[in-house]
Amino acid sequence: MSYRHQAISGEVLDLPLGKIVCVGRNYADHIAELNNSVPAEPLLFIKPNTALAHLDKPLQIPKSGPCHNELELALLVKKPMPSSQTSYSDEAILEGIWGIGLGLDLTLREKQTELKSQGYPWERAKAFDASCPLSAFIPLTESIDLQALAFQLNVNGEIRQRGDSSHMMHTCVSLVREILSCFTLLPGDVVMTGTPKGVGPLQSKDVLSLSLRQEQGELLNIETQVK
């Protein structure tokens, strides 16, 4: 596997490739978009580390049906956080996060719809190789407010998705706390925090522009293309 976690500086990080914990239905507009129900608690599913790919490299998507973009904020874990029935403090959670970035939760939508209708798990639609392309990560410092981050996806020059972490139904910190109530996070794990409305099919040769910003200015700007 050629993927390695990277810092925005270009440095390859000394972190293993772990699991990807994804959060479904964390934005009300996306729930309405797909006519889904609002879950009583965060909806969690996992992608294997074989789903990891570099977001700034050409994207490989399956040919077995419509593959949709789902742009999300990503959190990179830097230290072990054992599962605990005792709630972690905000400070303890923040100390366990190396940084933030952007990721795509690529989804075979027709396959997911078929699986959902039968009450089956989603892995066939969500966990295929290279289904989680990630950007480089920005170190988490006091200057970054996880509840005030705006992100955007343009496809062929047209805005497709706009998100803001202030619109999350569950904040980044509360999502990690919920995950830790179920299972352990380890160094190199990634948490994908959910997608806003605007999901849609990607086509070969589509040009994608992705950005992440806060009030003080732009943090990330990436351009890539679908193979």
Backbone angles phi, psi at 179, to 5 degrees: -60, -45
What number is the average pLDDT over the span 47-51? Answer: 98
SS3 per residue for the chain: CCCCCEECCCCECCCCCCCEEEEECCCHHHHHHCCCCCCCCCEEEEECHHHEEECCCCECCCCCCCEECCEEEEEEECCCECCCCCCCCHHHHHHCEEEEEEEECCEEHHHHHHHHHCCCCCHHHHCCCCCEEECCEEECCCCCCCCCCEEEEEECCEEEEEEEHHHCCCCHHHHHHHHHCCCCECCCCEEECCCCCCCCECCCCCEEEEEEEECCEEEEEEEEEEC
Q: Does 24 score more than 90 pLDDT?
A: no
Domains and CATH numbers, the chain: 20-225 (3.90.850.10)
**DSSP β-ladder status, 67-68 and 52-54:** unpaired
Burial class, 72, CB count within 10 angstroms (exposed 0-12 / middle 13-18 / buried 19+): buried
Could you tell me which residue, 216 or 222, shows the higher pLDDT?
222
Give pLDDT tens digits for 113-135: 999 999 999 999 999 999 999 99
Arithmetic mean of pLDDT over the chain:
95
What number is the average pLDDT over the span 42-46? Answer: 93
Q: Does 1 score more than 90 pLDDT?
A: no
Indicate the pTM of the whole model. 0.96
Confidence band of 192 (pLDDT split at 50, 70, 90): very high
Under 8 Å between Cβ of 195 and 167:
no
What number is the average pLDDT over the span 76-101? Answer: 96
